[in-house]
Amino acid sequence: MELRHLRYFVAVAEELHFGRAAQRLHMAQQPLSRQIRNLEDELGVQLFYRTKRTVRLTEIGAVFLAEVKKTLKQAEQAISLAQQTSRGEIGRLAIGFTGSALNTVLPQIVRQFKTRYPKVELVLESLRTNEQVIALLSGQIQVGLLHPPIAADAILVLKTLYCEQLVVALPNTHPLARGTPEPISIRDLASESFILFPRRVGPFLYDQIVSFCQQRGFSPNVVQEVVPQQTILGLVAVGIGVSLIHASASCIGQSGVVVRHLIEPTPELELAIAWHPETTNPALSGFLEVVGEIFI
């Protein structure tokens, strides 16, 4: 028994006339009559009373009709869901992101994607760049917002979305935090204690920061290495030291911290979108389309 046989039965049951049912189904009357006979034989029951002038449902046929309509409706829903899922209109997409992404590109991307694909569930997970790489390669997440360079760039696809300069976070009691918010020189921080993220979290940017300071005549005295960014700002607020943070982190608004721009061009924190080229999640293409429209 196939779904088409059930549709044949419903057409005859609703029309109670083989000729009209055949026209409705765009087929000849004789093959339709034969298909109904075959259905009855397969079920081992009589579905219709037939005379030369009339066709009507048997009691069994009436019960069968109600159940068949339910079955066809469920089948149509299943087909529709499968088609919508294949087009990326329904499903689930897991996204990894860093704190920088949360402060910059992620809100706009999510808002626009949810407007266009309201039935796709977005699962957002805060992960460091190295954690995102592992999660992308294992399939735990399907797309990442991370900081290049990465070791797996030969496998994953990366596209830069955003770059931002570094700024100085100072305790609000620091002499350089007073007065008008004029840019300062990195040389003014030569004797300061620095709070940075651990090198293992972002070795490329960490080394750039150290080199940036060394090119201005000093090596930074790093007294604390912590994550996340909020903890760094908290330590700055209580006077443990100063820090170089990405500019968008200033929107966190940590009490007791003053942000100053630098005169010198600083290393840039690059933010990129990454995904595995063999990912089969249909929702990914819609997500990449939205990101491309906004940033690429």
Residue 286, domain extent: 93-157+271-295
Residues 59 and 203 in one domain: no
- pLDDT recorded at residue 201: 87
Residues 245 and 189 in one domain: yes
Give 175's DSSP letter.
G
Q: In the block, which residue shows the tokens 């339910």?
A: 70
Upper half-sphere CA count for residue 10 (Cβ side, 13 Å): 14
Residues 107 and 170 in one domain: no
| Counted domains in the chain | 3
Question: Considering 86, 103, 122, which residue would you say is the last residue of a domain?
Answer: 86
Compute the distance between CA of residue 110 and CA of residue 88 in angstroms, rounded to an integer: 15
Residues 124 and 145 in one domain: yes
Question: Considering 26, 57, 86, which residue would you say is the last residue of a domain?
Answer: 86
Q: What is the CATH number of the domain that holds 125?
A: 3.40.190.10
pTM: predicted TM-score of the whole model, two decimal places: 0.74
- pLDDT recorded at residue 106: 95
Residues 7 and 70 in one domain: yes
Q: In the block, which residue shows the tokens 């350089």?
A: 176
Per-residue pLDDT of the chain (296 residues; tens, 9 = 90+): 788 888 988 999 898 988 899 999 999 999 999 999 999 899 999 999 998 888 999 999 999 999 999 988 998 888 887 787 777 778 899 999 998 899 899 999 999 999 999 999 999 999 999 999 999 999 999 999 999 999 877 799 999 999 999 999 999 999 999 888 899 999 999 999 999 999 988 899 999 999 999 999 999 999 999 988 889 999 999 999 999 999 988 777 779 999 999 999 999 999 999 999 999 899 999 999 999 999 87
Q: What is the CATH number of the domain that holds 39?
A: 1.10.10.10
- pLDDT recorded at residue 179: 82
Residues 73 and 127 in one domain: no
Cβ atoms < 10 Å from Cβ of 130: 17
- pLDDT recorded at residue 80: 80
Residues 263 and 276 in one domain: no
Residues 114 and 22 in one domain: no
- Residues sharing a CB contact under 8 Å with residue 74, sequence separation 6 or more, in sequence order: none
- pLDDT recorded at residue 214: 97
Residues 80 and 149 in one domain: no
Residues 254 and 277 in one domain: no
